């Protein structure tokens, strides 16, 4: 079944990986790149096996350059809103028979 909708503003969907810093022991790598605060040194951070962030990007089909990644930035004022989607890591919604929950903050 196909769905279609129209929005008053442009909509972009972005998927970040390892925002919690599990693999590279540093948080918010993707979102830092998106807002222009990713330091060059972040590309050299390595995981337990010795693979760097830069290596992981190339291994996962990143086609940009170090320079293009570090220049990535949304212009201030160009984003109207932001919604972050997470899976529930507990039984609350399921036990209530709810498919979706909306919160305005998280703990941790």
Predicted confidence at residue 93, as pLDDT, reads 92
Q: The pTM is what?
A: 0.67
Residue-wise burial string across 6-36, b where 16 or more C-beta atoms lie within 10 A, e elsewhere: eeeeeeeeeeeebeeeebbeeebbeebbbee
pLDDT tens sequence across 14-45: 888 888 889 999 888 888 888 888 888 999 99
pLDDT of residue 1: 63
Check residue 108 and give its pLDDT: 59
pLDDT band at 106 (very low <50, low <70, confident <90, very high): confident
User: Is the separation of the CB atoms in 29 and 20 below 8 Å?
Assistant: no
Radius of gyration of the chain (CA): 17
Quote the distance between the C-alpha of residue 102 and its chain's center.
19
The string of pLDDT tens digits covering residues 61-75 is 888 888 888 787 888
Lookup: tokens for 93: 């919604």
């Amino acid at each position: 079944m196909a769905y279609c909708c129209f929005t008053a503003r442009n909509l972009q969907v972005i998927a970040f990986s390892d925002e919690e810093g599990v693999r590279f022991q540093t948080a918010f790598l993707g979102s830092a790149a998106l807002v222009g605060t990713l330091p060059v040194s972040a590309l050299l951070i390595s995981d337990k096996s010795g693979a760097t962030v830069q290596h992981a990007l190339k291994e996962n089909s990143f086609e940009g350059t170090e320079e293009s990644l570090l220049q990535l930035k949304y212009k201030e004022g160009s984003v109207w809103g932001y919604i972050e989607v997470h899976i529930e890591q507990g039984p609350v919604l399921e036990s209530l028979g709810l498919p979706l929950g909306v919160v305005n903050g998280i703990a941790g």
